[in-house]
Amino acid sequence: MSKLDLIGSSEKFRAVLDRIDMVAPVDSAVMIQGETGTGKEVIAQAIHQASPRRHSPFVAVNCAAIPSALLESELFGHERGAFTGAVAQTMGRFQSANRGTLFLDEIGDLPLELQPKLLRVLQEMQIERLGSGRTIQLDVRVVAATNQDLWRMVQYTKFRADLYFRLNVFPIMLPPLRERKDDIPFLVEHFVQKFAKRQGKSIDCIPAEVMEVLVYHDWPGNIRELQNVVERAVIITKGPVLELQVAELMAHSAGSTAIKTLADAERAHIVATLEATNWVIGGRHGAATQLGLPRTTLITMMQRHRIFRETSAQPAETPELRAETYDRFFVPVPRARSQGSCSVQEPEDTDRVYQQSSPARRTAGGE
Neighbours of 74 (CB within 10 A): 17
Mean pLDDT computed over 347-355: 37
What is the sign of the dihedral through the CA atoms of 355, 314, 219 and 206? negative
Residues 5-62 pLDDT 10s: 689 999 999 999 999 999 999 999 999 999 999 999 999 999 999 999 999 999 999 9
**CATH 1.10.8.60 intervals, the chain:** 179-345
Q: Amino acid letter at 298?
A: L
Phi and psi at residue 109, in whole multiples of 5°?
A: -95, 5
Residue 169 DSSP code: T
What per-residue confidence (pLDDT) applies to 300? Answer: 87
d(C-alpha 182, C-alpha 202), whole Å:
25
Give me the helix-helix angle, 11-23 and 40-49, nearest 10°: 40
What are 276-328's pLDDT values in tens digits? 888 889 888 888 888 888 989 898 888 888 888 765 444 444 444 444 433 33
* Backbone Cα Rg of the chain: 26
Helix axis angle, 295-305 to 262-276, nearest 10° = 120
Contact criterion met (CB below 8 Å) for 340 and 189 = no
Q: Is CATH 1.10.10.10 correct for 179-345?
A: no
Q: What pLDDT was estimated at residue 344?
A: 47
Q: Where in the chain is the domain with CATH 3.40.50.300?
A: 11-175
CB atoms within 10 A of CB 280: 19
Q: Say whether domain 11-175 belongs to CATH 1.20.120.420.
A: no
Find all residues with CB under 8 Å of 152, minimum gap 6, and list them.
none
Helix ranges (DSSP H) in the chain: 11-23, 40-49, 68-76, 93-96, 115-124, 150-155, 161-167, 184-198, 208-216, 222-236, 246-256, 262-276, 287-291, 295-305
**Apex 159 CA angle, 156 and 161, nearest 5:** 95
Mean pLDDT of 228-248: 90
